[in-house]
Amino acid sequence: MAKTIEIRWHGRGGQGTVTAAKVLADACLSGGRYVQAFPEYGPERAGAPIRAFNRVSEHVIRMYGPVLHPKVVSIADATLMDAINVTEGAPDDAIFIVNTSKDPKEVREKLGARDTQKVFTVNASKIAVECFGKPLPNSSMLGAIIKVTGIVEMDALLENVKKSFGKKFAQKIIDGNLDATKRGYEEVKEG
Amino acid sequence: MGKIVAVTGNEACAQALKQINPDVCAAYPITPATDLMQRFSGFVSDGKVDTELVLVESEHSAMSACIGAAAAGGRVATATSSQGLALMWEMLYIAAGTRLPIIMPLVNRALSAPLNIHGDHSDGMGARDTGWIQLYSENAQEAYDNTIQAFRIAEHLDIRLPAMVCMDGFIVSHSIERVEYIDDADVKNFVGKFQAVHPLLDLDNPKSYGPLILTDLYHEYKRAQHEVMTKVPKVVLEVASDFEKMTGRKYGLFETYRLEDAEIAVVVMSSAAGTTKDIIDQYRDKGVKAGLLKPRMFRPFPYLEIADALKHLKAIAVLDRADSFGGYGPLFMEISSAVMSMDTKPAMINKIFGLGGRDYLPDQAEQVLDELVKVAKTGKVQTVKEYIGVRE
């Protein structure tokens, strides 16, 4: 793994994108690593496009401010590809992970991804509805991210999904999110 | 060995307050400090601390209640930001003039108008002359560590002054990062038992607080207040030394980064110092001898020590995340005062950045370093004060 990996999350207010960035940071603490997770604070409205960021490094992270050149771009809502420039600043070796039912090849075209960039898709909303009855995609997105990047072990991630949801939700919802995380890991496809 | 967690700056400060378990906290919510005291009030409700939490109707009342509780003989803390600090203004001077060691995390935020909830140093800089000790923190770890050290510094029997622990609003207060917590018992032991000095609740020895002092002795009283401030640096260093023994983490009056052999340097406080260090490394790789100085203790200001650390430089850029309209940035004014004592003075420029939470991005640091290279070469400064990261 590179010394520092930077992730940018695109989602819509109320989808749990910020929570997902937090869960990932918590999980990545393992192995003595340094982490950052923070959203971009603006007017906080349900449904509005939001961005959140992660940095994970083997060294102390001193850089503050938004991630400008994300190695990983997680797009939790495919309609954002029409609304904003989700590829902005992404380097040649960037990885895009999109929540969509569409074929990865079609998404690659839509994104205008370069040949050196990788595009993955996962039907995270559908998985979420099947696992816990709500179209909240980010547990599955987390599963897909760790599959594609190997940034952290599944056990560490599941433990932190459990911890995060355990504070607020019933056991059924927690179990559903754990299943969704595992299915995101298994069902992510490359295009 | 402490525990490693991923938490926000606010969460880390609330944890420090929990571990210290003050006698009284009086607070009023204001973004971005709200979340800090909200977490602490959770500890009160859950019985994790013995603190009496006084929920008041304004920040003026919050500081007034803190002053009353501290004069009564309690260990006291609160937290605020921006307009909240501004509303406390009158009471800040009374807390300091009455020599009450109140501890206040200040989550730095811009001042109105126009209304803005994001981070800059306008609030803290406005409280420069209140007589409070001010420590600024780069990240959540420093905010946590500084909060713990602030109790020891403020409550030291030679000092007995209130102290603000500053961190950048949202940038640090609401970002999750890796923080190493110290064990509860170690924090408790480090901070020690609170010693009340002239407590009002010692009813056998009645005393009076807040007397009227006119032309006969007010002038002397104020000189005495300055004298106490001059003793603070020694205590800050003693406390830092003990803290390092406990945690291995080193603190001083300020931090230097690659400064010893530098020809040019950036002086900047808080989170922007972190970003700047990364860019300095890139310039070092290109062979540019760049360094950084990050003031930690802004009040009292260590003029001589900082002058000594900067004396070999050809050019210095002072970055202010606050402004003095019609004047230079507040940090620039202090560094200029420090430079005054040098025989050969470095060329100096002042950049105002990041007001109202405007991102301080790597290209801004690069722009500053590029200009410093030129200034060092020619010895000429075009414009002393400029704004960077401005949308044109």
Nearest CA in chain B to A160: B6
Checking B37-41 for CB contacts under 8 A at 24+ apart, the result is B37/B78, B37/B79, B39/B10, B39/B11, B39/B14, B40/B14, B40/B79
| Percentage of chain B modeled with pLDDT above 90 | 99
ipTM for the assembly: 0.94
A165 pLDDT more than 70: yes
- Taking only Cα atoms into account, the Rg of chain B, rounded to an integer number of angstroms, comes to 21
Report the pLDDT value the prediction gives residue A1, as an integer from 0 to 100.
Answer: 45
- Rounded CA separation A75/A140 (Å): 12
B58 and B18 in a common domain? yes
* Confidence class for position A44, pLDDT limits 50, 70, 90: confident
CA distance linking residue B166 with residue A60, whole number of Å: 21
**CB-based contact B278 A33, cutoff 8 Å:** no
Q: Considering the domain boundaries, does residue B21 fall inside one? A: yes
User: What integer pLDDT is reported at residue B385 of this predicted model?
Assistant: 98
- Tell which of B217, B247, B277 closes a domain: B247
Cα distances (Å, whole numbers) of residue B388 to B239, B252, B267, B293, B318: 37, 29, 15, 19, 12
pLDDT the model gives residue B2: 86
> Residue B43 domain-assigned?
yes
Domain with residue B274: its CATH number is 3.40.50.920
Tell me the pLDDT tens digit for each residue of B199-223: 999 999 999 999 999 999 999 999 9
Please tell me the predicted confidence (pLDDT) of residue B1: 66
Q: What total number of domains does chain A contain? A: 1
Cβ–Cβ < 8 Å for B287, B339: no
Task: Give the list of residues 6+ apart from residue B220 with CB closer than 8 angstroms, or none.
Answer: none
What pLDDT digit, counting tens, does each position of B255-307 carry?
Answer: 999 999 999 999 999 999 999 999 999 999 999 999 999 999 999 999 999 99
- Band (pLDDT 50/70/90 cuts) for residue B364 is very high
Task: For B135-181, write each residue's pLDDT tens digit.
Answer: 999 999 999 999 999 999 999 999 999 999 999 999 999 999 999 99
Q: Which residues on B lie below 8 Å from A25 (Cβ)?
A: 6, 176-177
What's the pLDDT score for residue A2?
54
Tell me whether residues A25 and B176 touch, CB distance under 8 A: yes
Find the CB nearest A29 among B6, B174, B362: B6
Is A37–B6 a contact, with Cβ atoms under 8 angstroms apart? yes
* DSSP structure string for B132-198: -EEEE-SSHHHHHHHHHHHHHHHH-TTT---EEEEEETTTTTT-EEEEEEPPHHHHHHHH-----SS
Q: Which of B247, B265, B291 is the last residue of a domain?
A: B247
Cis amide prior to B113 (ω within 30 degrees): yes
Task: Check A65 against B359: CB less than 8 A apart.
Answer: yes
Would you call B6 an interface residue with chain A, using a CB distance cutoff of 8 Å?
yes
Q: Which residue has the tokens 């409280």?
A: B127
Contacts with B138 from chain A: Cβ below 8 Å: 62
Report which of residues B71 and A191 the model is more confident about.
B71
Task: Please indicate if any CB of chain A lies within 8 Å of the CB of B83.
Answer: no
Are B360 and A26 in contact (CB < 8 Å)? Answer: no
Nearest to A185 by CA among A127, A136, A101, A118: A127
- In-domain check, residue B113: yes
Instruction: Supply the mean pLDDT for chain B.
Output: 97
What is the C-alpha to C-alpha distance for residues B188 and A29, in angstroms, rounded to an integer? 26
For chain A, give the percent of residues with pLDDT over 70. Answer: 99
- The contact set of A with B (CB < 8 A) is 21-22, 25-26, 29, 32-39, 41, 61-66, 68
* Paired residues of B56 in beta bridges: none
Instruction: State whether B171 and A25 contact (CB < 8 Å).
Output: no
Residues B75 and B123 both lie in one domain: yes
Maximum separation of any 2 CA atoms in chain B, in Å: 70
User: Please, which pLDDT band fits residue B187 given cuts at 50, 70 and 90?
Assistant: very high
How far is it, in rounded angstroms, from Cα B90 to Cα B58?
13
The domain tally of chain B equals 2
pTM: 0.97
The string over B89-106, giving b where at least 16 C-beta atoms fall within 10 Å of a residue's C-beta and e elsewhere, is eebbebbbbbbbbbbbbb
**Least confident range of A10-19, B29-38, B348-357:** A10-19
Domain that holds residue B126: 3-247
